[in-house]
Amino acid sequence: MHFSRYIFVILCLGVSLPAMTPAWAEGPWEITPESTAALDRGLTWLAENQGPNGDWESDDLGLIGMGALAFMADGHAPGRGKFGQPLDRALNRILSSPRPSGLLNVADAQRDMYNHGLTTFVLGQAHGMTNDARINGVLDRALKLIAFTQAEDGGWDYRAVRRENGHDLSLAVMQAKALRSAMDTGIEVAPEVVDLAISSVREHYSPEGVSRDASEAEQRKYPGQFTYTRHGGKASLAMAAAGVVCLQEFGQYDDWRIQKNMEIIHAEIAKLKQKDNRQNGRLPFDAYTLYYVGQALYQVGGEDWQRSYPILRDAVVESQVVRPGNPREDGHWNAGAHVGGKPGDLYGTAVGCFILAMPNRYLPILQEGRIESFQHEVP
């Protein structure tokens, strides 16, 4: 049995891995001494700047969840080892916060499904890595709310309400990861929810040089990418990566749109070689974009992962703030967009650590294996 598959079985049985278990990297090209040191500095920043209530001065449960995810990505378990206590505090903050409906958001209602989707994903990973019985009920209600609030066209709105039309791809990818996270840890997800979501995601793909109404055979001849809206609006690197992640999470591994968007991702990562962000705290891309770019590379895997991950990893390491003796500064990154202040540093640092910890493959979402039940054709 391959080591990664062995780890996956252990995680699904709910056995916590000790923090010092060796990483199962594919080779030395994935992890360097510099990336290992940067990851430890980042996790130390998260631990020392968290605060007693576990929220890093943020009222966004999704960002608090990202802090927890960073620790889990490096194999740490709640209450155990070097970073066990801060991980425990973050999870306690989340598990004490669900509303009666199951909604995981205590901030403004306009942030309902961002926070809910991201937090549900994190709880799905924690479910696979711990024996914490408190997670089960919270996660079950959270997943039911995602299914209940899915729009008739397969997308989701910012608020936790069911509407006729979903809003944009940035919301869909949050829920996609939450649903896949559940399946990776043995929780069933209704096939109709997945099928409708896949159809919705594909509607966010926009070809260049040919009509969106052209046949798929015709569209494949031209460049194209995923966009924020269904009608080709707001193309960005973040949405290119988000579309890839959605299709991968939903098991559409051979969808031709994936490689179209991977070409865009590789081109943007290649540009990082010309940038100098040494110790300025600016991640190579803003935290939201980087989070999905890293996962798109990893999930597609193979040559795509080998081609661009080392470039991305080194750019993350280079940009980390290094200020020995200054615990408020040493080891952090900032989000770069969307979130400022200490919550922005939480977001940036958590994503930076997540990217550097990916080769460790501790998280269930990073284990090998495809969900074959997702691979049927969706009309």
pLDDT digits (tens, 9 = 90+) for 217-260: 999 999 999 999 987 788 999 999 999 999 998 899 999 999 99
Say whether pTM exceeds 0.75.
Answer: yes
* Token pair for 90: 């973050």
For residue 372, tell me if it sits in a domain.
Answer: no
* Token pair for 79: 């209450």
Q: What's the rounded Cα separation, in Å, for the pair 80 and 78?
A: 6
Tell me the pLDDT of the chain averaged across its residues: 89
For residue 4, tell me if it sits in a domain.
Answer: no
pLDDT digits (tens, 9 = 90+) for 329-347: 999 999 998 899 999 999 9
Say what the pLDDT of residue 367 is.
80
CATH code (residue 357) = 1.50.10.20
Cα(first)–Cα(last) distance of the chain, in Å? Answer: 36
For residue 181, tell me if it sits in a domain.
Answer: yes
* 194 contact partners, CB below 8 Å, separation of at least 6: 179, 250, 374
For residue 256, tell me if it sits in a domain.
Answer: yes
pLDDT above 90: residue 369: no
Domain count, the chain: 1
Structural domain for 268, as ranges = 33-366
Cα–Cα separations (whole angstroms), residue 265 to 132, 268, 271, 334? 37, 5, 10, 22
pLDDT above 90: residue 14: no
Say what the pLDDT of residue 46 is.
98
Within its chain, how far is the Cα of 373 from the centroid?
A: 22
Share of the chain above pLDDT 70, in %: 90
370 confidence band (pLDDT: 50, 70, 90): low
The secondary element (H helix, E strand) that includes residue 224 is strand 224-226
26 confidence band (pLDDT: 50, 70, 90): confident
For residue 25, tell me if it sits in a domain.
Answer: no
The per-residue DSSP string of 127-176 comes to: HHH---THHHHHHHHHHHHHHHH--TTS---SSSS--SS---HHHHHHHH
Share of the chain above pLDDT 90, in %: 77
Say what the pLDDT of residue 345 is.
98
For residue 150, tell me if it sits in a domain.
Answer: yes
3 confidence band (pLDDT: 50, 70, 90): very low
Name residue 224's beta-bridge partners: 207
pLDDT above 60: residue 161: yes
For residue 26, tell me if it sits in a domain.
Answer: no
For residue 283, tell me if it sits in a domain.
Answer: yes
